A and B are shown apart, each in its own frame.
Chain A
Amino acid sequence: MAFLEARGLGRDFPGVTALDDVDIDVDLGRTHALVGENGAGKSTFVKLVTGTDRPTRGTIRIDGKDVAEHPEQFGLIAYVPQELSLFPHMTVTENLLMPFEKSGHRGLVRRKAMEIEAQGYLDRFGIEAAPSDLVRNISVPDQQLLQIARASTNTGMKVLILDEPTSSLTPIEVERVFRVIRDFHDRGVGVVFISHKMDEVFDIGHDYTVLRNGQKVEAGKLATTSEDNLIRAMSGEKLELGSAFRPTTARADAPALLTVERLSGERFENVSFNLHAGEILGFAGLVGSGRSEIMQTIFGYRKARGGRVTMDGAPWELGSTSASVGRGMLYLSEERKHHGIFPQLSLRENIGLSILDLTNSPLGIRARKENEAVDRIIDEYEIRTDSREKKISLLSGGNQQKAIIGRAMATDPRILIFDEPTKGIDVRTKAQIYAIMQSLAERGVGIILVSSEMDELRKCANRIITMHFGRMTGEFDTETTDNETLVGAIFSREAANV
Chain B
Amino acid sequence: MSDLQKADAAQSKNPGMLKAVLRNPLMGVLAVLIVIFVASSILSPYFLTPYNMSVVGRGLAFVALVTIGQASLMLLGELDLSLGTIGGLCGIVTGMLMVNAGMNPWLSCLLALCLGAALGFINGFLTTALRLHSLVLTIGTAGIYGGAILVLTRGVAITGIPPEIQFLGRGTVWGIPMPFVIMLVMLLCAVFLTLKTPFGRYMYAIGNNRDAARMLGIRVDRIRVLVFVLAGALSALAGVLLVARLGTAQPSIGNSWVLGPIAAAVIGGVATTGGVGTILGAICGAAIIGIIENIIVLFGVSPYWQGIVSGAIVVIAISFDAISRRWLRKES
A positions within 8 Å CB-CB of B: 14, 299, 301, 321-326, 330-331, 333, 338-345, 349, 352-354, 356, 360, 363-365, 375, 378, 386-389
How long is the Cα–Cα vector from A476 to B202 in the complex, in angstroms?
A: 41
- State whether B217 touches A326 (Cβ < 8 A): yes
Residues in B with CB closer than 8 Å to A375 are: 13
Given contacts A326-B217, A339-B211, contact A365 B13 (CB under 8 A): no
Given contacts A321-B217, A387-B13, contact A341 B201 (CB under 8 A): no
- State whether A331 touches B215 (Cβ < 8 A): yes
B192-207, CB under 8 A of A: which get 1 and which 0?
1001111001101100
Q: Shortest CB–CB separation between residue A341 and chain B, in angstroms?
A: 6
- State whether B197 touches A354 (Cβ < 8 A): no
- State whether A339 touches B197 (Cβ < 8 A): no
Residues in A with CB closer than 8 Å to B198 are: 356, 360, 365
Q: Shortest CB–CB separation between residue B142 and chain A, in angstroms?
A: 29
Given contacts A322-B219, A324-B217, contact A342 B212 (CB under 8 A): yes
Contact among A333, A386, A387, A389 with B215 in the assembled complex (CB-CB below 8 Å): A333
Residues in A with CB closer than 8 Å to B13 are: 375, 378, 387-388
How long is the Cα–Cα vector from A323 to B12 in the complex, in angstroms?
A: 38
Q: Shortest CB–CB separation between residue B242 and chain A, in angstroms?
A: 32
- State whether A364 touches B275 (Cβ < 8 A): no
Known A322-B218, A349-B201; 13 more pairs at CB < 8 Å = A301-B214, A321-B214, A340-B212, A340-B215, A342-B204, A342-B208, A344-B275, A345-B205, A360-B197, A364-B196, A365-B198, A365-B201, A388-B13
Contact among B15, B209, B212, B217 with A389 in the assembled complex (CB-CB below 8 Å): B15
Q: Shortest CB–CB separation between residue B281 and chain A, in angstroms?
A: 14
User: Does B296 count as interface, using CB distance less than 8 angstroms?
Assistant: no
Please name the residue on chain B nearest to A15 by beta carbon: B12
Residues in A with CB closer than 8 Å to B217 are: 321-326, 330
- State whether B20 touches A353 (Cβ < 8 A): no
User: Does B276 count as interface, using CB distance less than 8 angstroms?
Assistant: yes
User: Does B151 count as interface, using CB distance less than 8 angstroms?
Assistant: no
How long is the Cα–Cα vector from A345 to B203 in the complex, in angstroms?
A: 12
User: Does B216 count as interface, using CB distance less than 8 angstroms?
Assistant: yes
Given contacts A342-B205, A349-B204, contact A387 B15 (CB under 8 A): yes
Residues in A with CB closer than 8 Å to B201 are: 349, 352-353, 356, 365
Total contacting residues, chain B, CB less than 8 A:
28
Closest 3 CB pairs of A and B: A325-B217, A364-B196, A342-B208
- State whether A341 touches B218 (Cβ < 8 A): no
How long is the Cα–Cα vector from A345 to B213 in the complex, in angstroms?
A: 13
- State whether B209 touches A341 (Cβ < 8 A): yes
How long is the Cα–Cα vector from A378 to B204 in the complex, in angstroms?
A: 22
- State whether B275 touches A345 (Cβ < 8 A): yes
Residue contacts A-B, CB under 8 angstroms, 5 given: A339-B215, A342-B205, A353-B218, A363-B196, A365-B201
Q: Shortest CB–CB separation between residue A215 and chain B, in angstroms?
A: 20
B positions within 8 Å CB-CB of A: 12-13, 15, 20, 192, 195-198, 201-202, 204-205, 208-209, 211-219, 271, 275-276, 332
How long is the Cα–Cα vector from A330 to B192 in the complex, in angstroms?
A: 29
- State whether B212 touches A339 (Cβ < 8 A): yes
How long is the Cα–Cα vector from A339 to B220 in the complex, in angstroms?
A: 14
Residues in B with CB closer than 8 Å to A365 are: 196-198, 201
- State whether A338 touches B208 (Cβ < 8 A): no
- State whether B209 touches A343 (Cβ < 8 A): yes
B contacts with A: majority SS:
helix
Residues in B with CB closer than 8 Å to A353 are: 201-202, 205, 216, 218
How long is the Cα–Cα vector from A389 to B275 in the complex, in angstroms?
A: 16
Q: How many residue pairs between the two chains, A and B, have CB atoms under 8 Å in the bound complex?
A: 78
Residues in B with CB closer than 8 Å to A387 are: 12-13, 15
- State whether B197 touches A364 (Cβ < 8 A): yes
How long is the Cα–Cα vector from A388 to B215 in the complex, in angstroms?
A: 23
Please name the residue on chain A nearest to B206 by beta carbon: A342
- State whether B216 touches A338 (Cβ < 8 A): no
Residues in B with CB closer than 8 Å to A389 are: 15, 20
How long is the Cα–Cα vector from A280 to B213 in the complex, in angstroms?
A: 26
Q: Shortest CB–CB separation between residue A363 and chain B, in angstroms?
A: 8
Residues in A with CB closer than 8 Å to B211 are: 338-339
- Among A14, A345, A386, the most chain B Cβ lie within 10 Å of the Cβ of A345
Residues in B with CB closer than 8 Å to A326 are: 217
Q: Shortest CB–CB separation between residue B271 and chain A, in angstroms?
A: 8
- Among A322, A330, A352, the most chain B Cβ lie within 10 Å of the Cβ of A322
Given contacts A360-B197, A365-B196, A387-B13, contact A342 B218 (CB under 8 A): no
Contact among A323, A333, A341, A344 with B276 in the assembled complex (CB-CB below 8 Å): A344
Q: Shortest CB–CB separation between residue B195 and chain A, in angstroms?
A: 8
Please name the residue on chain A nearest to B276 by beta carbon: A344
Please name the residue on chain A nearest to B277 by beta carbon: A344
How long is the Cα–Cα vector from A364 to B193 in the complex, in angstroms?
A: 8
How long is the Cα–Cα vector from A331 to B271 in the complex, in angstroms?
A: 29
Residues in A with CB closer than 8 Å to B212 are: 338-342
How long is the Cα–Cα vector from A340 to B201 in the complex, in angstroms?
A: 16
Please name the residue on chain A nearest to B201 by beta carbon: A353
Residues in A with CB closer than 8 Å to B275 are: 342, 344-345
Residues in B with CB closer than 8 Å to A338 are: 209, 211-212
Residues in A with CB closer than 8 Å to B12 are: 386-387
How long is the Cα–Cα vector from A342 to B77 in the complex, in angstroms?
A: 13
How long is the Cα–Cα vector from A323 to B219 in the complex, in angstroms?
A: 9
Please name the residue on chain B nearest to A342 by beta carbon: B208
Residues in B with CB closer than 8 Å to A339 are: 209, 211-212, 215
How long is the Cα–Cα vector from A378 to B13 in the complex, in angstroms?
A: 10
How long is the Cα–Cα vector from A47 to B271 in the complex, in angstroms?
A: 29
- Among A330, A339, A388, the most chain B Cβ lie within 10 Å of the Cβ of A339
Residues in A with CB closer than 8 Å to B196 are: 363-365
Please name the residue on chain A nearest to B215 by beta carbon: A339
Q: Shortest CB–CB separation between residue A349 and chain B, in angstroms?
A: 7
Residues in B with CB closer than 8 Å to A364 are: 192, 195-197
Please name the residue on chain A nearest to B9 by beta carbon: A386
Given contacts A352-B201, A364-B196, contact A321 B208 (CB under 8 A): no
Residues in A with CB closer than 8 Å to B192 are: 364
Q: Shortest CB–CB separation between residue B97 and chain A, in angstroms?
A: 37
How long is the Cα–Cα vector from A301 to B213 in the complex, in angstroms?
A: 11
Residues in B with CB closer than 8 Å to A378 are: 13
Please name the residue on chain A nearest to B12 by beta carbon: A386
- Among A326, A344, A389, the most chain B Cβ lie within 10 Å of the Cβ of A344
Please name the residue on chain B nearest to A348 by beta carbon: B13
Q: Shortest CB–CB separation between residue A483 and chain B, in angstroms?
A: 32
How long is the Cα–Cα vector from A365 to B202 in the complex, in angstroms?
A: 13
- State whether B209 touches A325 (Cβ < 8 A): no
How long is the Cα–Cα vector from A326 to B217 in the complex, in angstroms?
A: 8
Q: Shortest CB–CB separation between residue A397 and chain B, in angstroms?
A: 15
How long is the Cα–Cα vector from A343 to B205 in the complex, in angstroms?
A: 9
- State whether B209 touches A342 (Cβ < 8 A): yes
- State whether B208 touches A301 (Cβ < 8 A): no
- Among A321, A375, A378, the most chain B Cβ lie within 10 Å of the Cβ of A321
